[in-house]
Amino acid sequence: MAKQIIFTITLLVSLGFFLYTTKRIISFFWLTKPAFPVKDFWKRFNVMLNVAFGQTKILRFPVIGLFHATVFWGFCVILFGSAEMIIDGLSGSEKVLKGLGIVYNIIVGSGDIFGFLVAISIIIFLSRRLFFHIKRFEGIEMKPISHQDANIALLLILLLMISLNGMNSVYYQYQTLNNLPLFGVYPISQFIAALFSGLSNEVLMILYQVFWWTHILMIFLFANILPYSKHFHVFMSIPNVFLSRLEPLGKLPNMDHVMKEVQLMLDPNAASLTPVTTVPVERFGIKDIEDVSWKNYLDSLACTECGRCTSVCPANITGKRLSPRKIVMDVRARMKEKGPGLVRSGKEFNDNKSLIRDYIQEEELWACTTCNACAKECPININHPVIIVDMRRYLVMEEGSAPAALKAMLSYIENNGAPWQYSPDDRLLWAKDIEMNVN
């Protein structure tokens, strides 16, 4: 009974803090702008199965991709065991789902195998971060706290797996030592159990409780730390993939109010067919965090900071300041800074900073070629060019700020109908002295 009371209190405290964090994040989403209507659910479900659960983008890198996919699949399988532990903790039972029979054996056996494989994968990930210089893990946006954050999260996952396999091993040793029925199969832990041979029943029970409490407390701790770390993608990557933009990568979204004006200019007769709107346009493009869409912010929360986007960016490769990863990380950091003030004081809140210039420089934005290599490579379908182009729109349409060559091109298009400085009447002057032999 004491165990149940302690567990219940711990669970309630953990859930309370998690709900507080969730409420805070949702309040930030209310500050954002609409993105696109969410429809085509069957197509989205297929994308989620392929990209999120199938890990198809990650597996393009066969070796390290397989280790990462193993960690993801392992978490999916181990989740069932975690649910059973919570039920056991609340009810005071032991192996409450054992009545599932062969299904239970498959779940427990898979969890036992994946617990070991995930631990091996995490050791490899930690070794890569600590002892090998992986270029895509570096960058101006990757501060020391970013590396510490990653290492702490990896250590927590490793402790989770060690406690899981330790709990299974001690359980296997205790049950077989006392000729008691064994619920579930333990392909890996039955070999690790040899490490606990020779221990008394009392010591084994103490060890089991130590591993059990360590594992469940690590789950609660991990769940509450994640929203404040880069590993929040453990929760957010699947929803982000499901809510991916389904249009081709090269298609950039237009601003509806601007499109209507253009259509009226091209066809004035359509004015009578176009409903008149009196809603003022607050801003063209994105200047600060309240101008981003809910999808932009969701992308920033789901970002794994893996650096695959930046590693394939032609602008970054050729020495430009642009780092697609930094753009996404800056959105998250700016919301964390300004969001609480906007929630408290509303749109009137102003801290005399903005996403553009205080976080992201114009030079970064104009370096983007909109080639979509970053969006193509992102393992969770973040679309970086969309937000970059929206910030460019603000610079051009609100401030008239753009590189000199671009300003000249826009002027030529306006005056000459083409991006060149020559008038339409002079375009064929280059060919006036050319003689053609038609025989």
Mark whether 160 and 292 lie in a shared domain: no
Query: Helices 62-91 and 144-177 sit at what angle, rounded to 10 degrees?
Result: 60
Mark whether 319 and 180 lie in a shared domain: no
By percentage, how much of the chain surpasses pLDDT 90?
54
Cross-strand pairs, 293: 33
Q: What is the pLDDT of residue 438?
A: 66
Three-state SS at 360: strand
The answer to whether the Cα torsion of 373, 316, 234, 329 is positive or negative is: negative
Q: What is the pLDDT of residue 277?
A: 53
User: Of 192, 208, 242, which one is at a domain's C-terminal end?
Assistant: 242
Mark whether 212 and 289 lie in a shared domain: no
| E strand segments, 208-284 | none
Mark whether 136 and 10 lie in a shared domain: yes
Mark whether 368 and 419 lie in a shared domain: no
| Residue 40: inside a domain | no
User: Of 184, 207, 242, which one is at a domain's C-terminal end?
Assistant: 242
Residue 273: which pLDDT band, with cuts at 50, 70 and 90? low
Q: What is the pLDDT of residue 70?
A: 93
Residue 258: which pLDDT band, with cuts at 50, 70 and 90? confident
Query: Helices 144-177 and 201-225 sit at what angle, rounded to 10 degrees?
Result: 150
| Residue 147: inside a domain | yes
- Name the token pair of 224: 């509450």
Quote the mean pLDDT of the chain. Answer: 88
- Alpha-carbon gap, residue 225 to 228, rounded angstroms: 6
Three-state SS at 239: helix
Mark whether 284 and 378 lie in a shared domain: yes
Mark whether 26 and 168 lie in a shared domain: yes
Three-state SS at 72: helix
Mark whether 211 and 99 lie in a shared domain: yes
Predicted confidence (pLDDT) at residue 278 exceeds the cutoff of 80: no
| Residue 248: inside a domain | no
| Residue 50: inside a domain | no
pLDDT digits (tens, 9 = 90+) for 304-340: 898 999 999 999 999 999 999 999 999 999 999 999 9
Predicted confidence (pLDDT) at residue 275 exceeds the cutoff of 80: no
User: Of 242, 274, 297, which one is at a domain's C-terminal end?
Assistant: 242
Instruction: State the DSSP code for 243.
Output: T
Residues 225-239, mean pLDDT to the nearest whole number? 88
Query: Are the CB atoms for 71 and 102 separated by under 8 Å?
Result: no
Q: What is the pLDDT of residue 270?
A: 63
Q: What is the pLDDT of residue 263?
A: 75
Mark whether 430 and 393 lie in a shared domain: no
Q: What is the pLDDT of residue 317?
A: 94
Predicted confidence (pLDDT) at residue 279 exceeds the cutoff of 60: no
| Residue 198: inside a domain | yes
Query: Are the CB atoms for 358 and 287 separated by under 8 Å?
Result: no
Mark whether 225 and 81 lie in a shared domain: yes
Predicted confidence (pLDDT) at residue 375 exceeds the cutoff of 70: yes
* The total number of residues written for the chain in this structure: 439
pLDDT digits (tens, 9 = 90+) for 67-122: 999 999 999 999 888 999 999 888 888 888 888 889 999 999 999 999 999 999 99
Q: Highest mean pLDDT: which of 145-159, 170-184, 382-396? A: 382-396
| Residue 251: inside a domain | no
Mark whether 321 and 337 lie in a shared domain: yes
pLDDT digits (tens, 9 = 90+) for 115-138: 999 999 999 999 998 888 888 888
- Name the token pair of 173: 């040793």
Three-state SS at 293: strand
In the chain, the amino acid numbered 396 is: V
Query: Helices 62-91 and 2-29 sit at what angle, rounded to 10 degrees?
Result: 130
- Name the token pair of 176: 């077989």
Query: Are the CB atoms for 374 and 385 separated by under 8 Å?
Result: yes
Q: Which of 329, 384, 381 is nearest to 359 (CA)?
A: 329
In the chain, the amino acid numbered 122 is: I
Mark whether 86 and 148 lie in a shared domain: yes
Q: Which of 126, 112, 199 is nearest to 163 (CA)?
A: 112
Q: What is the pLDDT of residue 130?
A: 87
| Residue 221: inside a domain | yes
Query: Are the CB atoms for 328 and 374 separated by under 8 Å?
Result: no
- CATH number of the domain that 347 lies in? 1.10.1060
Residue 274: which pLDDT band, with cuts at 50, 70 and 90? low
Predicted confidence (pLDDT) at residue 416 exceeds the cutoff of 90: no
Query: Are the CB atoms for 183 and 84 separated by under 8 Å?
Result: no
- Alpha-carbon gap, residue 286 to 281, rounded angstroms: 12
| Residue 366: inside a domain | yes
Predicted confidence (pLDDT) at residue 439 exceeds the cutoff of 90: no
Query: Are the CB atoms for 115 and 161 separated by under 8 Å?
Result: yes
Predicted confidence (pLDDT) at residue 157 exceeds the cutoff of 70: yes
* Residue 220 domain boundaries: 2-30+61-242
Residue 407: which pLDDT band, with cuts at 50, 70 and 90? confident
State the total domains in the chain.
Answer: 3
In the chain, the amino acid numbered 24 is: R
- Name the token pair of 396: 């051009």
- Alpha-carbon gap, residue 67 to 213, rounded angstroms: 27
